[in-house]
Amino acid sequence: MDQTVLTIEYMNERNKALTKAGEGIVAARKSLDQLEEALRGTVSGKFPDIGQVADTTHRLREEINQILIGLVESSMVKPERRL
């Protein structure tokens, strides 16, 4: 296989993994914003829906995993492994 093709495949795989990590970061920011809003409400005496807080926290865990997996996958893609 041509080295150029291998390099393109390497870049595509790495970019897919980095995109996955980036999407996880964006989603995690949204979840953190929602949790921060719940915290602010609690400070001012408006107690949050605990089910919603639990769902958001659980979703945040999944988003953190997506970030970690994306970053690990992007660093594991090596062009020499495809030769």
Residue 44: count of CB within 10 angstroms of its CB: 8
Reply yes or no on whether the pLDDT at 83 is more than 50. no
Whole-model pTM? 0.81
| Angle at 27 (CA atoms; ends 77, 78), nearest 5 degrees | 5
Rounded average pLDDT over 10-22: 94
Convert the pLDDT of each residue in 28-80 to its tens digit: 999 999 999 999 999 999 999 999 999 999 999 999 999 999 999 999 877 65
Rounded average pLDDT over 14-37: 98
